[in-house]
């Protein structure tokens, strides 16, 4: 970090002041205290003048409230004044009664509100009192003018103070942003080291797993696994053949039973419908029935279909259907045998699969492969994190000098002279 920050040390103009980046907060506090003290001292006199003018206005308003009318004034004007006087006095008293704070900024706002309200009262109800109380109203105008002059005196002083505070806030914010980025840069360096350490650990473990996998492949017990896999293939083939035989018989019978069910439904034979429906449910169920249950169901449903075939209500369309329903007893025997064979073959396959999957060497091989897959995912994530960190660090290392340059310019404007900022490199090495 130290090398890339060197670029901000140089300047195009003569340097009149140097300042450490870390000293800026204290420097700002000192300037703010001085600015506040200057504001208090410079606004003391106009604030006093405004307070005196307000007090003078109070006296005048009290005088107007109790003054006698000039006897030479036209009666119509007296009537108007009689109505306007209480309204004017009440409005002026409300405006003049409001407290003027000691703080210059709050004082300025309160005084501005006061003079605005007094002017509204003078230009409103006060204009009807000009002829009745000419001297007093002249005094009101002078008092309002005095407040206005005091406000005009305070205005540039307060504007200068507010500008100083705004400049100070901008410098403080920018200085804080730089400090935060420097801190984050240091944290990112430590995070990068942690990521690199994890990548090294993952890479080392992955290499060890490859050696273990190679050792497993050359283990003498792999012959047992190969033999068990070959046996499993043969058992699976037998199971599939048994499944095809059972499926062909069950689907052929179900197709005819479905036709019979529709006919029985039209003929309103609920007992036959139930028997046929139960047969189709068992034949299409994924769970194989036991042989006795299958025989009982087919014994109940078979005669119904055979009767409809014999009567011509059902026409058998292929050789398979004719074979099944030409000899019901043989069909029940054949499908029962097929069901039993399929059940036995499925059990044999499950046992062979359990035996194979529980082999210690295969379990170790699968465990190593799972761990290797997890490590690949972890490595991909860590590499992505590393790239993101590098990209962020690159942008930040470029951004910090830019911000320091901006900060130096802002401080130079505040100081009225060139400023060179000194940066202490605190990035962990």
Residue 252 has pLDDT above 50, yes or no: yes
Q: Picking from 80-94, 110-124, 205-219, 333-347, which range would have the lowest pLDDT averaged per residue?
A: 80-94
Q: 376 versus 422: which is more confidently predicted?
A: 376
CA angle in degrees (0–180, nearest 5) for 191-194-195: 90
The arithmetic mean of pLDDT across residues 187-197, rounded, is 95
C-alpha gyration radius of the chain = 51
For residue range 115-137, what is the model confidence (pLDDT) as tens digits? Answer: 999 999 999 888 878 877 888 88
Query: What pLDDT is stored for residue 386 in this prediction?
Result: 96
Query: What pLDDT is stored for residue 57 in this prediction?
Result: 93
Q: Distance between terminal CA atoms of the chain? A: 9
Q: Quick check: 225 and 359 in contact, CB under 8 A?
A: yes
Q: In terms of Cα–Cα distance, which of 372, 354, 373 is closest to 362?
A: 354
Distance (Å) of CA 214 to CA 36, 217, 218, 223, 315: 79, 5, 7, 15, 65
DSSP for residue 269: -
The arithmetic mean of pLDDT across residues 197-206, rounded, is 96
Residue 327 has pLDDT above 90, yes or no: no
> Could you tell me the residue ranges of all domains in the chain?
32-173, 222-358
Query: What pLDDT is stored for residue 325 in this prediction?
Result: 85
Query: What pLDDT is stored for residue 5 in this prediction?
Result: 29
| Number of other residues whose CB lies within 10 A of the CB of residue 299 | 14
Query: What pLDDT is stored for residue 138 in this prediction?
Result: 92
Residue 11 has pLDDT above 80, yes or no: no
% of residues, the chain, pLDDT over 90: 62
Q: Is the dihedral of CA 227, 230, 234, 235 positive or negative?
A: positive
Residue 27 has pLDDT above 70, yes or no: yes
Q: Quick check: 47 and 153 in contact, CB under 8 A?
A: no
Mean pLDDT of the chain: 88
Residue 201 phi/psi, 5-degree rounding, is -65, -45
């Amino acid at each position: 970090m130290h090398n890339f920050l060197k670029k901000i040390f140089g300047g195009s103009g003569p340097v009149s002041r140097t300042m450490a980046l870390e000293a800026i907060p204290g420097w700002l506090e000192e300037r703010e205290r001085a600015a506040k003290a200057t504001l208090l001292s410079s606004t003391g006199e106009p604030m006093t003048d405004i307070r005196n003018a307000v007090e003078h206005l109070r006296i005048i308003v009290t005088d107007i409230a109790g003054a006698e009318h000039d006897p030479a004034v036209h009666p119509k004007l007296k009537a108007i004044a009689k109505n306007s006087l209480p309204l004017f006095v009440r409005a002026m008293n409300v405006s003049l009664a409001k407290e003027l704070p000691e703080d210059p900024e709050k004082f300025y706002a309160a005084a501005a509100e006061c003079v605005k309200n007094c002017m509204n009262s003078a230009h409103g109800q006060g204009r009807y009192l000009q002829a009745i109380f000419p001297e007093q109203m002249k005094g009101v105008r002078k008092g309002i003018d005095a407040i206005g002059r005091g406000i005009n005196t305070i205005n540039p002083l307060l504007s200068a103070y507010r500008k100083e505070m705004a400049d100070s806030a901008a410098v403080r914010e920018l200085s804080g942003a730089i400090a935060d980025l420097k801190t984050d840069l240091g944290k990112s360096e430590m995070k990068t080291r942690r990521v690199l350490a994890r990548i090294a650990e993952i890479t080392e473990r992955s290499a060890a797993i490859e050696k273990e996998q190679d050792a497993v492949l050359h283990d003498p017990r792999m012959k047992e696994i190969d033999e068990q896999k070959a046996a499993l293939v043969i058992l699976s083939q037998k199971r599939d053949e048994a499944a095809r035989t059972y499926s062909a018989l069950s689907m052929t019978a179900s197709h005819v039973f479905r036709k019979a069910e529709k006919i029985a439904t039209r003929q309103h034979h609920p007992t036959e419908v139930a028997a046929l429906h139960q047969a189709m449910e068992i034949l299409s169920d994924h769970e194989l029935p036991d042989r006795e249950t299958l025989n009982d169901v087919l014994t109940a449903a078979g005669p119904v279909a055979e009767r409809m075939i014999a009567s011509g209500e059902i026409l058998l369309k292929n050789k398979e259907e004719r074979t099944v329903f030409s000899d019901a007893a043989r069909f029940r025997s054949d499908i029962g045998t097929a069901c039993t064979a399929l059940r036995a073959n499925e059990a044999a396959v499950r046992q062979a699969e359990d035996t194979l999957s529980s082999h210690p060497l295969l379990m170790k091989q699968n465990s190593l492969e799972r761990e290797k897959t997890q490590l690949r995912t972890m490595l991909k994530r860590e590499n992505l994190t590393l790239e993101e960190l590098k990209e962020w660090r690159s942008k930040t290392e470029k951004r910090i000098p830019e911000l320091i340059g901006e900060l130096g310019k802002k401080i130079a404007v505040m100081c009225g002279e060139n400023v060179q900022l000194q940066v202490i490199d605190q990035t962990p090495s």
